[in-house]
Structure 1
Amino acid sequence: MMYTTQMDAAKRGIITKEMEIVAKKENMDVEVLRGLIAQGKVVIPANKNHKALDPEGIGEGLRTKINVNLGISKDCYNIDKEMEKVKTALDMKVEAIMDLSSYGKTEEFRRRLVEMSPAMIGTVPMYDAVGFYDKELKDITAEEFLKVVQKHAEDGVDFVTIHAGINRQTAEVFKRNKRLTNIVSRGGSLLYAWMELNNEENPFFKYYDELLDICEKYDLTLSLGDACRPGSIHDATDTSQIQELLVLGELTLRAWERNVQVIIEGPGHMPINEIAANVLIEKKLCHGAPFYVLGPIVTDIAPGYDHITSAIGGALAASHGVDFLCYVTPAEHLRLPNLEDMKEGIIAAKIAAHAGDLGKNIKGAKDRDYAMSKARQELNWEKMFELAIDPEKAIRYRKESQPQHEDSCTMCGKMCSMRNMNKVMEGKNINILREDD
């Protein structure tokens, strides 16, 4: 039986090869997974033209996934350097890479990325439009915006961020309710500017059905962008953010009618005490669609350390039901991240995702922690390194400061609690000041 998208197949009772792969990875019954996809609570972004893809699921009951942002810009135009970052990110087993390229040969970079990447690939076609047509923003037509989405879909990207919720109504709410940092979403700000300059409706909202035609044809997952995400703690959970979320909820239902898979994007900057409520609001207003957040960053005062501020917010958000974390690097708000920044951001996001999985009792999430604790109790250093999120760093730290006794470390030496408790539990003596008998 033929089907158009993963959601169409799920509604028809068809188990796709992608569903089988994801169910095995998640240790989940494939029929349960199919049911969640049919309801829109889980997505498998899998463009029909992405032949190298090793599919992953995002949504309810699944492991929290992470996304890495990469791409070339006018100020840092070096495709080879970006490809080095891509290869490293793939080696670090990230589940998704977003190509945010905004200058030059974006098509070449995007095609190379899709051709080599087993991870799902996302883009923001809006970023590409100005360079693609070599026209000023104001002069790009609605039809031309849709053609860029069509091009990205043909090239095999698995999901696209589309800021369709910043329509004329949302824009009027934004104007009436002043913000400290206005619209910080790059794509959202460009669309708002286009609307103001042309006195027209958002083309992605006005021609949403045509957008869905493209998505249905290629099984392109819609990541409905949050143009009004808060860019500061001050603006969190404000009227503009909630107004846009109401629109995104309606757009979600329209997409599901066409069997188009949907992810909802979220904040942004947010105080820690508002995160749980934001997850609940999104899940309610957007009918349980998977939730994808940038951070959230829980304080505005840590430039250079925003991989930490975002990991704090991401862990809490994931524990309350967020399904997909966009990594944040130490370079956030400062510059394009380099290779080391990217690696630090990936590790921080992986920690946040796993901590969130522990909090929401994802099946099997605790197994690795149990094994690590057992290895620590046994003072099995090799096993500890094997289980570590970043084995390379753990091994380096151990080698940089060698203890006198191999069954301890230079922090505690022979006062090591694990070492001494093992001896006592075995009925042995403890010699702290003298050599063992």
Structure 2
Amino acid sequence: MNYTTQMDAAKRGIITKEMEIVAKEENINIDLLVERIAKGQIVIPANKNHKSLKPCGIGKGLSTKINVNLGISRDCPNVDKEIEKVDWAIKMNAHAIMDLSSYGKTEEFRKKLIDRSTAMIGTVPVYDAVGFYDKELQDITSKEFLDVARKHGEDGVDFITVHAGITNATADVFKRNKRVMNIVSRGGSLLYAWMELNKAENPFFEYYDELLNICEEYDMTISLGDSLRPGCIDDGTDASQIAELILLGELTKRAWERNVQVIVEGPGHIKIDEIKANVLLEKKLCFDAPFYTLGPLVTDIAPGYDHITSAIGGAIAASCGVDFLCYVTPAEHLRLPTLDDMKEGIIASQIAAHVADISKGVSGAEEWDLKMAHARQELNWEEIFKLSIDEDKARTYRKESTPEFSDSCTMCGKMCSVRNMNRVMDGKDINILRSED
């Protein structure tokens, strides 16, 4: 049977091969999965031209997914270095990779990325437009912005971030409500500048129906970007952010009417006690569409450690219902991440996602921790390593500090509580000061 998108198929009751893969991977009833895709509560970003893709679901009742940001820039244009990061991100089981390239051989990098990636690929067409046309921002036409989105669809991009929510009306809200950090979204700030320079409406909003035509043709999911997300906790949950969120809900419904799948992006920097309210607002105003957050970062004072501030916020956000976490590296706000920065960011996000999955009762999440508890109780180091979220690091730490006795570590030695409780429970003597027999 013919269908245009995963949502179109779901509305018709058609089970696609992508749905079958996701249902098996997530251990979810296939009929329930189809129902939630039809309602827009779950998406399977799967461009028809991304042939190497391993389909992955994002949304209600599924495990929390993580995204990795990569890409070349004017200061760091080395394609090969970014491809090395891509290979590591896939090896480390990232669910999605966003190409944020903004300069140089962007098309070359994007095509290499799509050809080799089993993970979902996302892009931000407005970033690419300046380099693609080799024009100043003001001189790019509305049609040219849309043509870049089409090019990304042809290339096989699975989801595009489109900042359609920064309009003349929401920009007026921003102008009337002073912020500390103004607009920190790169895509949002570029479009705001284009609108101001050209005294025109946001092309992605004005020609949203044409954008939907492109997305429907390639089954490219729209990730509605939060142009007015807060860039510091003082700006969190303000009038600008909420005005845009209301509009994103309306754009979500318009996309669903065309069977285009939607993800809604959220903050950003917010206070820890505002996270639950932000998730509730998105789920209500955007009709339970999958929610995608950058962190959120819950303090502004930790440059060099923002993977930690992000993981704190991400764990809480996902436990409240966020479906998709964009990783943050230690280099956030400071530089393009190195390979090691990327690895740390992935691990931090994976921890946050797993913590939330335990809370949400995701199938298999708590069982993983129970297996680790049994391995620790048995002092089964090999099993502990295999169950670790970062097996290499766990093995390295153990190897770098070898204890005298294998059933302990160099911190506690023979005073190890697990070792001694195992002995007592087995009716054996506790031998701490005396030599072993």
TM-score clears 0.5: yes
Which secondary structure state, in structure 2, belongs to the residue aligned with residue 49 of structure 1?
coil
Separation in 2, partners of 1:85, 1:237: 34
User: Counterpart in 1 of 2:102?
Assistant: 102
Q: Secondary structure at the match of 1:54?
A: coil
Is it true that 1:196 corresponds to 2:157 in the alignment? no
Structure 1 counterpart SS, 2:237: coil
Cα distance, 1:427 vs structure 2: 1.1
Take 2:291 and 2:54, find their aligned partners in 1: how far apart are those partners?
A: 21
Shift of 1:409: 0.3
Partners of 1:390 and 1:20 lie apart in 2 by 29
Query: CA offsets, 1:123-175, max 9 Å, x none?
Result: 00000001111111111111110000000000000000000011111000000
Deviations 1:292-329 (A, max 9, x none): 00010110000000000000000000100000000000
Q: What is the root-mean-square deviation in Å for CA atoms of aligned residues?
A: 0.6
Query: Residues 60-112 of structure 1: CA distance to partner in whole angstroms, max 9, x if unpaired?
Result: 00000000000000011100100111111111010000000000111110001
Deviations 1:253-298 (A, max 9, x none): 0000000000000000011010011001000000000000001011
Which residue of structure 2 lines up, in the alignment, with residue 79 of structure 1? Answer: 79
State the AA in 2 paired with 1:390.
D
Q: Post-superposition shift, 1:435?
A: 2.9
Alpha-carbon shift at residue 182 of structure 1 (Å) = 0.3
Q: 2:134 matched to which residue of 1?
A: 134
Count of matched residue pairs: 437
Amino acid at match of 2:102: S
Distance in 2 (CA, whole Å) between partners of 1:69 and 1:249 is 25
Partner residue, 1:333: 333
- 1:432 alignment partner, SS class: coil
The answer to whether the 8 Å contact 1:430/1:436 transfers is no
Q: The residue matched to 1:410 in structure 2 has which SS?
A: coil
Q: Aligned equivalents of 2:96 and 2:432: distance in 1? A: 50
Partner of residue 269, structure 1: 269
For 1:35-70, what per-residue CA distance to the aligned partner results, in whole angstroms no more than 9, with x for missing partners? 110000000000000000001000000000000000
Paired residue type of 1:141: T
What amino acid maps onto 2:258 in structure 1?
A: R
| Cα deviation digits, residues 164-200 of structure 1 (max 9, x gap) | 0111110000000000000000000000011111111
Inter-partner Cα distance in structure 1 for 2:218 and 2:186: 26
Query: Counterpart of 1:332 in 2: which secondary structure?
Result: coil
Moved more, 156-165 or 413-422: 413-422
Structure 2: 5+ residue stretches without partners: none
Residue pair 1:67, 1:97 contacting (<8 A) in 2 also: yes
Structure 1 residue 436 displacement after superposition: 4.0
Paired-residue identity, % = 73
2:320 equivalent to 1:320: yes
The aligned counterpart of 2:410 is 410
Give the TM-score of the pair, scaled to structure 2.
0.99
- 1:2 maps to a residue whose letter is N
Moved more, 249-258 or 352-361: 352-361
How far residue 359 of structure 1 moved from its aligned partner, in angstroms, is 1.4
AA matched with 2:30 = V
TM-aligned CA deviation for residue 429 of structure 1: 1.2
Q: Which moved further from structure 2: 426-435 or 118-127?
A: 426-435
Give the secondary structure class of the aligned counterpart of 1:277.
Answer: helix
Give the residue type in structure 1 aligned to 2:38.
A
**CA distance in structure 2 between the partners assigned to 1:33 and 1:391 by the alignment:** 32
For residue 115 of structure 1, what is the aligned residue in structure 2?
A: 115
The answer on whether the counterparts of 1:42 and 1:290 sit within 8 Å (CA) in structure 2 is yes
